[in-house]
Amino acid sequence: MSATYSGKVALVTGGAAGIGRATALAFAGEGLQVVVSDLDVVGGEGTVELIRAAGGEAIFVRCDVSRDEQVVALMATIKEQYGRLDYAFNNAGIEIEKGKLNEGSEAEFDAIMGVNVKGVWLCMKHELPLLLAQGGGVIVNTASVAGLGAAPKMSIYSASKHAVIGLTKSAAIEYAKKKIRVNAICPAVIDTDMFRRAYEADPKKGEFAAAMHPVGRIGKVEEVAAAVLYLCSDAAAFTTGQALAIDGGVTAM
């Protein structure tokens, strides 16, 4: 158990699978008490079961991060259960867009922005009072390499991730003197259930996705989780307002 994390509490939204689940497990492995949140009850409770089976402590709280009252209720549960919040990994997000900008629908725009942008904003808005009350903490938001540049046929998604980075940088400056650090991670293609669903019908596209990364493969969820833990750790005490690319070299080209 790391002395850095001992006795502390971490929140992971979008914790039912993929990057969220891997990060929740990584937090628990360091001795943190973990609050797993998601709309997917079965997946979220499954993450909690995995943590408990490994000897960790975790609870699941269902929450739609795009709904203010549900985020308020999530924070109230954390305060009641643990009395504190040290780390918040705002990871919940959706990716449903598959066409050019003029082919998108208003429903798609509202759904993507509602979760990816409003959801991150609401979580930060209601996490900050808990962090301020105890004199500091860390927030990590999930953006994307699509938030660092262009993303053809995913213009709304890309815009949402650019917005996440904007929220991250602005909050980092606003709360820097309050001992609250705020950073974002920007993964490229990661081996998640979402990736497998997208490419199982066309393995050639999956091979192309791997080849687009200079390292010659897609990323692993554990590699992203390790980056989140680093940003939360004392080793990153001088790091705030950053958008960390975890991309196998994509953005270096």
**Active-site residue set:** 157
59 and 36 Cβ atoms separated by less than 8 Å: yes
221 and 191 Cβ atoms separated by less than 8 Å: yes
Torsion of CA 12, 14, 17, 22, to 10 degrees: -30
- In what helix (H) or strand (E) does residue 245 lie, and over which residues does it extend? strand 243-246
Helices (H), 175-220: 193-199, 203-211
22 and 225 Cβ atoms separated by less than 8 Å: yes
User: What single string gives the DSSP state of each residue in 222-240?
Assistant: HHHHHHHHHHHSGGGTT--
